[in-house]
Amino acid sequence: MPSNNNLKLQDNPYLAHRHPTQRDTGSSRSKSLGVKEPLYGFLPRKVNGDQVRRALEHEINPFTEQPHSAQYKEILDARKKLPVYAQMDDFYKMFTNNQIIVVVGETGSGKTTQIPQFIVYSDLPHTKGKIIACTQLRRVAAVSVAKRVADEMDVELGRHVGYSIRFENMTEPGTTLLQYMTDGMLLSEVMNDPNLERYSAIILDEAHERSLATDILMVLLKASAKKRADLKIIVMSATLDALKFQKYFSVRSNEAVPLFKVHGRTFPIEIFYTQEPEPDYVEAAIRTVLMIHRAEAPGDVLLFLTEEEEIEDVCLKIKLEADDLIDQDPDAVGPLTCIPLYSSLPPQQQQRIFDPAPPPRTKGGPLGRKIVVSTNVAETSLTVDGIVYVVDPGFSKQKVYNPRIRVESQLISPISKASAQQRAGRAGRTGPGKCFRLYTEKDFKNELEEQTHPEILKSNLSTAVLTLVKIGVKDLVRFDWMDAPAPETLMRALELLNYLAALDDEGNLTPLGCIMAEFPLDPQLAKMLIVSPEFKCSNEVLTIAAMLSVPNVWLRPNNQRREADAAKALLTIPDGDHLTMLNVYNEYVNNQHDRNWALTHYLSARALAQADNVRKQLERTMERFEMELVSLSDPVKIYQNVRQALVCGFFMQVAHKEGEKGNYLTVKDNQVVALHPSCGMDTQPEWVIFNEFVLTTRPYIRTVTEVRPEWLLEYAPTYFDLSSFLDGETKRALQRVVNKKAGKSNRDTTKDTRARTRKQKKNK
């Protein structure tokens, strides 16, 4: 029976007997009808499971005030089958009685979709003019979960349930009550609203993955919870390290915050270890995959490897060996497809992991098998369905940060126990599975670390530190980190920000630093962009900043390397890779009418489109600070000015050529480096700035541009104060420049004085 339709109410025979004054309030009206409004009697945060179950069964959607659709009933029936649905009463008891809760549950338990909805029905954020946020680590997850939950709640996506990710805000202020968002997005909101006043409850999902943004948010939320008794915090994580989160969020020591365990459905996974350590994990991996193909029951295989090249190589080898097997005995094994998976693959090719296994070659013959060979993407961010066998060699490529030389590098290293468990779990998503670990059980127990090091221990923290200083954090070393980064990492970040003049010598934010923090860029890029109007080239520097913030735009397919290199040579500007990037972007824009332009030039259309998006966003931020967008018409002058602006941001990333063997020495850190093979300069200039230092087969500097030493001395006098340099060729070279300049300016001043005297005489 409808309860909110006035026309129908007047038709109701019972109303005729009521006194007109009784018709004023909605609740008495509904009560007299015997049909309460769906949320009748709900006291925010004191709601129980019975009340919510009744509301869920109600014909009227309490948020849209429209009748529920037929589809709603269907979805609700499916939700009722989730184990977490049966735990509603317990959840509400805990939610009512606690400000902070830790929720654990395995993937597939429904915690990401159900818990936020439970909270909506109890918290009723709209009655306080607030909303509920649920963070996600990835953009795609935020979008897809929001879509699902909007369907479950029978609302239009972007109205009562929405999402907010970079470049895309699918919410409606005043209507949205549940907002999924990336953790980075919430962190950027913190800058202008340190206590997150617009939220009544914040749910941090996948906290166990310990992303940089989540780690920083945890510290800030813990502090906000003390200041704001009305703020509820729910930290959701995988089971393994729940206690660590419970302890961290306890206000009083020794009293952990309560834990809510979401039941899930998991299938058993049998784990096998090797008897002896494997000397060559790649060879062992190929052998194991073929063993599975020959001897195991039908079911797809997921093999974890470390990097693109290795994956492509192994795919070829597996395919060859499988063909050999078939040649030897066509009836023994079925056909096999090998599918590579890594993030830089175009989405269309990533979709191949969802293709079914190949059919048997002959009717009734041995079944086909699909082998997915993947980097860590398949461990957390991409789920391949129908995997029965996992092959885990126990390695992944991981970031390592060395604060001494300010270098982040990628190293192939052993994974953690938590990661091994996660990998094994990928075999049991649709039924019982098997996991083959290519290391011994003893090594698993004794050699692998419990947890993967959180990002905050492996990253350069300059952007994070700038954000924290901006929101007023004073003492970063004694900041309440869950895992404190090395003090040296923090010192390096503070030092960089000080040299860039974002912080003064006391560590206070300068007006420049305040603007830098508002740009979604590394501090060096932000600085270079902010000074660029002074060099009359903000238009160009804006493009370079955008291009440096997106993945590599150059494609170099294994079998077309020569063609790709030739295409690149046509776009190369010999003065420097930064200028080449500028040129590539401009050509991309000039050729936007040609759909195949990127492809025929061996460029990633996806990365270029992303650069375009970033550029637009940065342009809006520039407008906010009334920064001019300017260009010079003289192409020679413009390239020179762009390089000068680059120096203003990247003067700490300079290398000086030593000798004739192509060796460079980084300034001050004195690391011996070489120009990366991708570098497009046709000479080896004496002084270069570089965008990044990478450690692969040897130390390289990548994305390099020639600069003049005079600019270093002029635009970064504090950093290039010669008394702070160790003796060496770099210092001597700079000294020569200083001397020359001094001599020249002495002559200049004398000349000037003479000229002026002449002029003065003339004027007389």
Partner DNA sequence: CCTGAAAGT
Q: What is the binding site for DNA (CB under 7 A)?
A: 137-140, 165-166, 182, 184-185, 188, 211-213, 306-309, 342-344, 375-377, 381-382, 396-399, 410, 455, 458, 463, 520-521, 549, 552, 554, 556, 565, 662, 674, 676-678, 694, 696-698, 702
Q: How far is the CB of 401 from DNA (least distance, A)?
A: 9
- Give the closest residue to 231 by CA, choosing from 249, 246, 244, 211: 249
Spatial distance between the Cα atoms of 497 and 520, rounded to a whole number of angstroms: 15
Maximum separation of any 2 CA atoms in the chain, in Å = 111
Q: How far is the CB of 429 from DNA (least distance, A)?
A: 18
Q: How far is the CB of 188 from DNA (least distance, A)?
A: 4
Q: How far is the CB of 623 from DNA (least distance, A)?
A: 17
Q: How far is the CB of 201 from DNA (least distance, A)?
A: 21
Are 713 and 682 in contact, with CB atoms under 8 Å apart?
A: no
User: Considering beta carbons, is residue 132 or 181 the nearer one to DNA?
Assistant: 181
User: Considering beta carbons, is residue 551 or 728 the nearer one to DNA?
Assistant: 551
Q: How far is the CB of 440 from DNA (least distance, A)?
A: 25
Q: How far is the CB of 184 from DNA (least distance, A)?
A: 3
Are 701 and 664 in contact, with CB atoms under 8 Å apart?
A: yes
- Give the closest residue to 300 by CA, choosing from 343, 252, 353, 351: 353
User: Considering beta carbons, is residue 332 or 672 the nearer one to DNA?
Assistant: 672
Q: How far is the CB of 721 from DNA (least distance, A)?
A: 31
Spatial distance between the Cα atoms of 763 and 400, rounded to a whole number of angstroms: 68
Spatial distance between the Cα atoms of 342 and 205, rounded to a whole number of angstroms: 24
Helix (H) or strand (E) holding 187: helix 183-190
Q: How far is the CB of 348 from DNA (least distance, A)?
A: 15
Q: How far is the CB of 179 from DNA (least distance, A)?
A: 13
**CA distance to 1, 212, 428, per residue, from 270 (Å):** 53, 33, 9
Are 83 and 264 in contact, with CB atoms under 8 Å apart?
A: yes
- Give the closest residue to 506 by CA, choosing from 516, 494, 496: 494
**CA distance to 58, 74, 746, 756, per residue, from 67 (Å):** 9, 14, 86, 88
Q: How far is the CB of 186 from DNA (least distance, A)?
A: 8
Spatial distance between the Cα atoms of 223 and 438, rounded to a whole number of angstroms: 44
Q: How far is the CB of 443 from DNA (least distance, A)?
A: 22
Query: Would you state the structure tokens that stand for residue 554, as one six-digit string?
Result: 């150059």
User: Considering beta carbons, is residue 171 or 376 the nearer one to DNA?
Assistant: 376
User: Considering beta carbons, is residue 213 or 292 the nearer one to DNA?
Assistant: 213
User: Considering beta carbons, is residue 292 or 701 the nearer one to DNA?
Assistant: 701
Q: How far is the CB of 677 from DNA (least distance, A)?
A: 4
Are 152 and 78 in contact, with CB atoms under 8 Å apart?
A: no
Q: How far is the CB of 554 from DNA (least distance, A)?
A: 5
Residue that the structure tokens 């401009």 belong to: 586
Report the 3 state secondary structure along 304-364. ECCCHHHHHHHHHHHHHHHHHHHHHCCCCCCCEEEEEECCCCCHHHHHHHHCCCCCCCCCC
Q: How far is the CB of 399 from DNA (least distance, A)?
A: 3
User: Considering beta carbons, is residue 10 or 381 the nearer one to DNA?
Assistant: 381
User: Considering beta carbons, is residue 441 or 563 the nearer one to DNA?
Assistant: 563
User: Considering beta carbons, is residue 48 or 409 the nearer one to DNA?
Assistant: 409
Report the 3 state secondary structure along 611-679. HHHHHHHHHHHHHHCCCCCCCCCCHHHHHHHHHHHHHHHHCCCEEEEECCCCEEEECCCCCEEEECCCC
- Give the closest residue to 259 by CA, choosing from 407, 102, 381: 102
User: Considering beta carbons, is residue 681 or 716 the nearer one to DNA?
Assistant: 681
User: Considering beta carbons, is residue 309 or 504 the nearer one to DNA?
Assistant: 309
| 453: DSSP letter | P
User: Considering beta carbons, is residue 224 or 306 the nearer one to DNA?
Assistant: 306
**β-bridge partners, 169:** 164
Q: How far is the CB of 679 from DNA (least distance, A)?
A: 8
* Full DSSP string of 702-717: EEEEE--HHHHHHH-T
Q: How far is the CB of 698 from DNA (least distance, A)?
A: 6
Q: What share of residues in the chain are helix, strand, coil (percent, to 5)?
A: 45, 15, 35
Backbone conformation region of residue 492, classed left if phi is above 0, alpha if psi is from -120 to 50, else beta: alpha
User: Considering beta carbons, is residue 112 or 375 the nearer one to DNA?
Assistant: 375
Say whether 102 sits in a helix, a strand or coil: strand
Residue-level length of the chain = 764
User: Considering beta carbons, is residue 583 or 663 the nearer one to DNA?
Assistant: 663
CA dihedral 716, 721, 726, 730 (to 10 degrees): 50
- Give the closest residue to 66 by CA, choosing from 199, 149, 156: 156
User: Considering beta carbons, is residue 309 or 729 the nearer one to DNA?
Assistant: 309
**β-bridge partners, 70:** none
Chain centre to alpha carbon of residue 157: 23
Pairing label, strands 699-706, 687-695: antiparallel
User: Considering beta carbons, is residue 219 or 326 the nearer one to DNA?
Assistant: 219
Start-to-end Cα distance in the chain: 103
- Give the closest residue to 647 by CA, choosing from 691, 590, 603, 701: 691
Spatial distance between the Cα atoms of 274 and 284, rounded to a whole number of angstroms: 10
Query: Would you state the structure tokens that stand for residue 696, as one six-digit string?
Result: 């692969």
User: Considering beta carbons, is residue 150 or 611 the nearer one to DNA?
Assistant: 611
